[in-house]
Amino acid sequence: MRNESATQLITELSAPGRRAAIFPKADIPATQLDDLIPSQHRASSPPALPELAEGDVVRHFVNLSTKNMSVDTHFYPLGSCTMKYNPKRHERLASLPGLVDLHPYKQEDSIQGMLQILFECQQILGEIAGLPSVSLQPAAGAHGEFTALLVASAYFRDRGENRTKVLFPNSAHGTNPASAALAGFDCIQLNSGVDGLVDLEELKAHVDDKTAVFMITNPNTLGLFETDIGKVADILHEAGALLYIDGANMNAIMGRTRPGDFGGDMMHYNVHKTFTGPHGAGGPGSGPIAVRDYLADYLPGPVVSKTTDENGEPYYSLTTPPKTIGRIRSFFGNVSILLRGYCYLRTLGAEGVKAAADNAVLNANYLMARLKNAFDVPHGKLCMHEFVASASRIVKERGISAMDIAKRLLDKGFHAPTVYFPLVVSEAMMIEPTETESKETLDAFVDALITILEEEPETVKAAPWTTPVSRPDEVQAARKPILTAPEEQTTS
């Protein structure tokens, strides 16, 4: 039975005269409003704010929160945007007095503890990347891409080279060409090989003296490790170009192999994907970048440096690289998220980082093994941390699409995986379990998917049945969201 109940808007709960607090009568002389705010700067009528008691407000928002799916409440098999569980220990540590209360304009000598943490964070990220020079400033993964491309642009400009092209495979994250275009480059998309990996001949055909950067995710968006990545790097380097590694899938290889060791010249991290920084509703984010030593002079400033004071004690300071591209974010970056990532890395240590990657790969391969008979898996021998299944055969046999399956999963208590990406797989379902999920959770997810395939197509195609809203027009909802109560809506 479809759930027809819908949560009321807070404006619908409003009743004139209700208040969360009643203030005493003012005990100071009254002042004419015109003396405080001239009439030309005042609205003609008060804003139509809802009037409610405190209990009404609290219950409204708490009840809304229970309708949300999150990493704290559900399994997130999300695919292209890893959603790792956020350990509560890291939340507590990042909220300690002396960390959360620091003002970014304080003098360096009064924030030595924080600067030490940020310096060590730079060192650890550089070690994991195999790229020694790090900037913590970028505010998100795509911002990190953009920043690194600005660094590449400054590097080539400084060398007197007019390189205008950025190449990327057709399985790339959409932010790759967007970042390149925003940085002023021409974007060239390359076709992948039939094996889902970079086609070396296709790459050679497009690399020339105008090529600045080749952007690649490794493991790629099909969940496959690019086995020819060393040859890819050689092709780029022989042409004088740079190899950029999109760090979106570092959760599969951290501690096991390093982008700098297999030829990468620059990369970004997604702290929420790899180091458990919380990430939802579009933020907060953090996208540190790591680059080779000869690119360090172009990094955005400031970076944290370590010296010694007159007593021989360590002293941390903020320094600006000599050929910097300039500041790309206020202050030092999104410190609150960096702190959580730092706590995660210090908690795990080197062996724990490897174990996290190993378990992420193990979980993904277990899921793939259990599902490969129910769905087609175009590149299904072995995967890294994720794999891409296809519902194409299900569409032909039962008329059920990847989107239908994803919607029906909501009724089963599971968040949907990423669907229809990457575009190189028809009816794609990108599934990524991360390392923290138990075998019981993975088995329950598989059982839910198999149950859906056994249900009547009409039931699945009309799902979800248990949510307040079932199948909105998603394009219309994004472009013209309804933000008012029905009686307040107007037509245009």
Q: How many angstroms separate the CA atoms of 63 and 61, rounded? A: 5
Residues 334 and 370 in one domain: no
Token pair listed for 60: 């409204």
**149, part of any domain:** yes
pLDDT attached to residue 283: 61
Q: How many angstroms separate the CA atoms of 240 and 465, rounded? A: 56
Residues 258 and 397 in one domain: no
Give 298's DSSP letter: G
Query: Which of 298, 331, 347 is a domain's end point?
Result: 347
**356, part of any domain:** yes
**127, part of any domain:** yes
DSSP string, 317-382: EEE--TT-----SSTTS-HHHHHHHHHHHHHHHHHHHHHHHHHHHHHHHHHHHHHTTTSB-TT-S-
Q: pTM for the full model?
A: 0.89
Query: Which of 347, 363, 388 is a domain's end point?
Result: 347
Q: What CATH number should be reported for the domain holding residue 121?
A: 3.40.640.10
Q: What are phi and psi of 468, to 5 degrees?
A: -60, -35
pLDDT attached to residue 489: 47
Give the list of residues 6+ apart from residue 364 with CB closer than 8 angstroms, or none: 223, 383, 384, 385, 386, 387, 431, 432, 433
Residues 336 and 385 in one domain: no
Residues 327 and 380 in one domain: no
Residues 387 and 248 in one domain: no
Token pair listed for 349: 């240590």
**47, part of any domain:** no
HSE value, Cβ hemisphere, 13 Å, CA-based, for 59: 9
Residues 258 and 402 in one domain: no
Q: What CATH number should be reported for the domain holding residue 405?
A: 3.90.1150.10
Please give the helix or strand (H or E) that residue 189 lies within, else none.
strand 186-190
Residues 327 and 395 in one domain: no
Query: Which of 322, 347, 372 is a domain's end point?
Result: 347
Domain that holds residue 388: 352-477
**490, part of any domain:** no
Counting the structural domains of the chain, the total is 2
Residues 383 and 317 in one domain: no
Residues 336 and 369 in one domain: no
List the chain pLDDT tens, one digit each, 492 residues: 444 445 688 988 999 999 888 888 888 888 888 888 998 999 988 888 999 999 999 999 999 888 888 888 999 999 888 889 999 999 899 999 989 999 988 999 999 999 999 999 999 999 999 999 999 999 999 999 999 999 999 999 999 999 999 999 998 988 999 999 999 999 999 999 999 999 999 999 999 999 999 999 999 999 999 999 999 999 999 999 999 999 999 999 999 999 999 999 999 999 999 999 987 665 678 999 999 999 999 999 999 999 998 899 999 999 999 999 999 998 888 999 999 999 999 999 999 999 999 999 999 999 999 999 999 999 988 999 999 999 999 999 999 999 999 999 999 999 999 999 999 999 999 999 999 999 999 999 999 999 999 999 999 999 999 988 888 888 888 888 877 655 544 444
pLDDT attached to residue 449: 98
**408, part of any domain:** yes
3-state secondary structure 102-151: CCCCCCHHHCHHHHHHHHHHHHHHHHHHCCCEEECCCCCHHHHHHHHHHH
Residues 107 and 242 in one domain: yes
HSE value, Cβ hemisphere, 13 Å, CA-based, for 24: 3
What is the CA 490 to chain-centroid distance, rounded?
36
Residues 372 and 320 in one domain: no
Residues 382 and 322 in one domain: no
